[in-house]
Amino acid sequence: MRALIRELAPAKVNLFLHVGARRDDGYHPLQSLAVFTGGETAADVLSLAPADAVSLSLDGPFAVGLEGESDNLVLRAARLLAARTSGVGGAAITLTKNLPVASGIGGGSSDAAAAFRGLSALWHISLDDLTLREMAASLGSDIPACIAAIPAFMEGRGENLTPVAAMPRLSLLLVNPGVALATGDAFRAWDGIDRGPLDYGEPLAAALAGRNDLEPAAIGLVPSIAEVLAALRGAEGILLARMSGSGATCFGLFASAEQRDAASLRIGTERPSWWRLATRLQA
């Protein structure tokens, strides 16, 4: 069946992450600068076509990581959107999973956001931004940021967003040691110390001055994260290397694509089992 709608679900990268003490509702207040990868090769892809019912099929290099999930975020987004409207019919959805699962780059959240966008187009649904973001937040804290997929400061549990207009389109290298790390495990391993709020200001300066409060806990669970960071920090032309989100993916920001590609080649030669993605920041 020919897909009528095609949506990209780019990787979400947390350039910094401040984690506050757990609230009474079980969530942690967060501060983060979220950015997204640019280009089709740095994204999962959703293809959607009309059908009698909602269905999901999987392909791509990381599809095996989602096999057996009967209620993943893409299906939940589809069912929620259908329940809020009437007479929309179904959709045959194909998710091409190019990004690793449970890797700290918002793959599932971005997939769900792409499902909201694609199904709204397929079903000719027009929702205001506030309604769509509220629906997205009910499924996951990261999904509202992934709806627009533009650089933004995140607060609250991730649903309070302030768009960033001056994020430079730097070259970006993502590296994952090939180990899945569940978000809940990283938060449970965190030492619980609130290290204080981070300043925003100019986005690149804020990123350089920031930190990821989950990084030490994640390294304790997956020691190879420290090896990834050391490999990135030793690269020529590196501006910033840090873990993204709850890990285990780490990122390196470079001023030029040539420096990024040289780092990717070296790391790939030394660590061929590590997953790498050379891309850029989406403005």
Active site residues: 12, 142
CA dist 222 and 179 (Å) reads 7
Q: Is 159 helix (H, G, I), strand (E, B) or coil?
A: coil
| DSSP string of 47-68, one letter each residue | EEEEESSEEEEEESTTGGGGTT
CA torsion sign for 245, 198, 26, 225 is positive
Contact 3, 94 (CB under 8 A): yes
- Reading the block at residue 218, the tokens are 């994640």
Q: Provide the token pair at 142.
A: 């990261």
Alpha helices by DSSP H, listed for 68-106, are 73-83
SS3 242: strand
**Alpha-carbon torsion (93, 44, 219, 268), positive or negative:** positive
